[in-house]
Amino acid sequence: MRQSLHMPSELSRRKVLTLTAAAGVLLASKRGSADERLKFDVVGNELHFGGRPIRLMGVGVGDPVYVRSGRPLSDYEVLVRDWQCSAVRISIHPGHWRHDPDHAFALLERDVSAARAASLFVIVDWHAIGFPGRYAEPVDPSWGLPLDAFASDEALALDFWRRISTRFGGDTGILFELWNEPVYDGKLWRSTGEHWPFLKALWIRLIAEIRSRSDAIIIVAGGRWAHDLKGVANDLIDDPRVIYSWHCYPNEDRGVASRWLDSLGGLPAVKPVVVTEWGFTREGDDAIRGTPENFGIPFTRDVLEPLKLHSMAWCFSSGATPRLLAPDDVTPSEYGAFVKDYLAHSWRPQT
């Protein structure tokens, strides 16, 4: 996640729990018993659902505590109807979980239930940035987030996934994104693959916690803020229901001839890859500064479409950058209009 500018107000616990219960009733009535027999499977480098190939296409909506504070649950119906999304990514910041896990859980449950009721697949994302004992992403105090928002704490992550896999592990339409952006060395800006063995060892421990309760699809990342997947194809995690995530913004390897394909390391030919964050904006810091011409068009044309990568554009918000929404919280921004058009015309498997 890049910079966020929301200053959210708190929802009362009673209101949250009421909304969660209502959404749960709607979910149960809408999905029906037939869906219970459907599930995801990994077939080579394809993701299948109910025995048929599927491409997860959608957006990240941020976290329900901060980015989505005050936003309506009807967003999920809008994303299906107007943006043609098949999936959304919903996040929880480690700092929010550490300071009030019950409140964070109730808000997450409310949004996940609403998204599933709208027939969306859901990626639940542990929004950590860093690596235990090595790096923790600093937080700008002006953002209004806890200063430990991106805490890279293994025990905290284990606690989160223990509770999440207990609650959501039986819903076949929910995928678990183990760790948002691993960073083993905050000074390394090249994709070398050298940190994958360290990341893999942590992922195996977290996966074991989930597997004691659920066979959900688990999404894991490589290093360098989830951009470095070099070497992963030759050293896969030994779990048939693990797939991989990738993040890409305009400044990644700018000027390098092989650019994006080099950092992917051939992994899309072997396993499904979900681009759980990508985007651009004409404003903001250099990491995300780009235009349709110098990033959006070549990235979708030369990478997402030919490789048929699953993708979640960041972020369905007017505050978290790059912003898919204009300041009125409804109209797509320039970047949002680009993504909306891309979702309307992207390749989808025949059903």
Assessment of whether the complete model's pTM goes beyond 0.85: yes
Check: CB of residue 132 under 8 Å from CB of residue 89.
Answer: no
Instruction: Give pLDDT < 70 ranges for the chain.
Output: 1-37, 351
Q: Cα(220)–Cα(230) distance, rounded to whole angstroms?
A: 14
Please give the full DSSP string across 191-249, using - where no structure is assigned: ---TTHHHHHHHHHHHHHHHHTT----EEEE-HHHHTB-TTGGGS--S-TTEEEEEEE-
117-145 pLDDT, tens per residue? Answer: 999 999 999 999 999 999 999 999 999 99
Could you tell me the two tokens for 243? 């797939």
Per-residue pLDDT at 153: 97
Per-residue pLDDT at 16: 39
322-349 pLDDT, tens per residue? Answer: 999 999 999 999 999 999 999 999 999 9
Per-residue pLDDT at 195: 97
Check: CB of residue 38 under 8 Å from CB of residue 50.
Answer: yes
Beta bridge partners of 88: 59, 122
User: What are the structural domains of the chain?
Assistant: 13-17+58-345 (3.20.20.80)
